Chain A
């Protein structure tokens, strides 16, 4: 090993970090390009593709929402193995409100978002007192057990589910609603995690004892993070219910738990943009891989293993590094 790789921030990165971002158009472009171009490309794509791929994009956006919600939980030190819980609870609340009370989507979606957040937070409240794998264990168990409860008690349509629910005006409306929701959540979370509030959340992940020592009630903060994450998940479920005009036991399926995690791991945890990028890679990919059928989940599983072990930073971190820094080989001083 004669040489080592040195990474240095680009000058322009340092210049754009403060008020100096307003120096010239070049600095402003440097900040704007990575944010605006993907959004423009995304909306251009929605104009160009047919109805089938529009549907695929809707489900991509739904998975992206779940991945974002997963990433927020992970940022606060809670690893969820059951995003299907949030998704399913939101979906069922929407279905029930629409089927039994005939409320229109205008009311069901907001109620399900908030209600789903509250229900999931209450369900997981006992687990918040413990760290790490306990949370993972219980979130893994809950959706699988809720399915059994619905199957056993035959409530809410039992195995048949509730069908014939109200739909949204048009596919295009559904598409834009879901994409705008994804972008709103993305920018909200990215901003949130860099505030003092977000610092507390990240502190809980890194060393919760020292956060407690600072006189902060970590359980209250964890509960808030959990509420935000589960509300986002529940919104995804509510949206999907109105898109399919059906809600049933499949909403608790493994897919809704695994794909968001796989997206986050592939895209890069902790950045929010990474999980979203991951979702926009994996979901269309799995749509294209429809031919292999059951092998899909196997591939996700292997993705999880390979990326956590071999490329733990994920795709987004890689691009971010290339964008902000330049690399050169320097001689190792003996």
Chain B
């Protein structure tokens, strides 16, 4: 029982980290809090579903297409809407939130509600892990999550675009001096973040069903993890995901699954009282920047 809780807690942590990575990446690089994140997450899942069910495209191919489509949409959102209000946090928040709302509620309007909207798992079946049965999809989430983190680390340390991303994140004006086009990088960062949202959706959602509410809760989870970890800090995201993930699973097992949602709220409030910049908020002047 206890061992099972530990394993599921770990899976839950990786799930949270996957959800939060994209949001965190976009915020860390361009400073845009993408409130359309949850909508992009669901958009990827519905796109994959449409490609798979209506157009009968191979599952693997439709996944790839859905992720590419989502990141394309993310880039478009920045290029045509957020670019115009860059630097005005109030307008950024309202505009991106409006986009997210429009996308999510449009799917609801089209009637994408119900139990038939499910994505198939990649590999069916379950394995026994020291006496605890766990389905292969959950193991895949862990695998993909870890692979993504390693990929992101390599990407931001050894490629030109990745280095430019980090340059932007550290000091935008200096990056500009060194010939880094900040608008282009910010567009790319939004596209990247949205693509990560797509990857997260397509790995995680086969476990449940695709629903509009999933978009809102994905956004909330991403926000909770990022606030607790410190906005813009990847290490923070990972640590916060582990903390919240285990806390959620333990709450669900020992207190009741209804209380799971409250864990992240309590975590946010506690962290804001004791360390407002988050666990690993790198910018010490975070209070001034946000």
Contacts and interface: CB of A to CB of B under 8 A. Distances in A.
A181 interface: no
A302 B273 CA distance: 36
B89 A79 contact: yes
Given A129-B287, A149-B262, A144 B220 contact: yes
A127 B99 CA distance: 25
B216 A308 contact: no
Given A149-B262, A301-B105, A141 B98 contact: no
B256 A152 contact: yes
A140 B220 contact: yes
Given A151-B258, A298-B109, A304-B98, A309 B224 contact: no
Interface string A290-303: 00011101101111
A85 to B, nearest CB: 12
A304 B268 CA distance: 27
Contacts of B262: 145, 148-149, 152
Contact of B81 (A138, A153, A305): A305
Contacts of A308: 85, 91, 94-95, 98
Given A126-B272, A140-B223, A302 B102 contact: yes
Given A305-B98, A308-B95, A134 B272 contact: yes
Given A126-B269, A148-B258, A305 B95 contact: yes
A293 B290 CA distance: 37
Contacts of B272: 126-127, 129-130, 134, 138
B109 A309 contact: no
A261 B286 CA distance: 27
A294 B109 contact: yes
Interface residues of A, number: 43
A73 B98 CA distance: 19
Nearest to B96: A305
Interface in B172-217: 216-217
Dominant SS among interface residues on chain A: helix
B97 A153 contact: no
Contacts of A151: 258
A254 B91 CA distance: 19
Residue picked from B35, B85, B94, B256, most chain A C-beta under 10 Å? B94
Given A81-B97, A265-B94, A301-B99, A141 B223 contact: yes
Contacts of A209: 288
A258 B101 contact: yes
Dominant SS among interface residues on chain B: helix
A332 B81 CA distance: 31
Contacts of B91: 308-309, 312
B265 interface: yes
Interface in B138-178: none
A131 interface: yes
B133 interface: no
Contact of B290 (A130, A152, A295): A130
A177 interface: no
Contacts of A81: 35, 93, 97
B258 to A, nearest CB: 3
A81 B220 CA distance: 12
Contacts of B286: 130
B21 interface: no
Contact of A304 (B84, B97, B265): B97
B122 interface: no
Contacts of B35: 81, 136, 140
A304 B93 contact: no
B60 interface: no
Given A297-B101, A301-B102, A134 B290 contact: yes
Contacts of A153: 258
Interface string A161-198: 00000000000000000000000000000000000000
A142 interface: yes
A137 interface: yes
B202 to A, nearest CB: 24
B129 interface: no
A293 B109 contact: yes
A29 interface: no
Contacts of A148: 258, 261-262
10 contacts: A79-B94, A130-B276, A132-B93, A140-B223, A145-B265, A148-B261, A149-B261, A149-B262, A305-B81, A305-B95
Interface of A: 74, 79, 81, 126-127, 129-134, 136-138, 140-142, 144-145, 148-149, 151-153, 209, 254, 258, 261, 265, 293-295, 297-298, 300-305, 308-309, 312
- Top 4 A-B pairs, shortest CB-CB distance: A152-B258, A304-B98, A301-B102, A301-B101
Given A126-B276, A148-B258, 15 more contacts: A81-B93, A132-B89, A134-B227, A134-B276, A137-B33, A137-B227, A145-B265, A149-B262, A151-B258, A302-B102, A304-B98, A305-B98, A308-B85, A308-B94, A312-B91
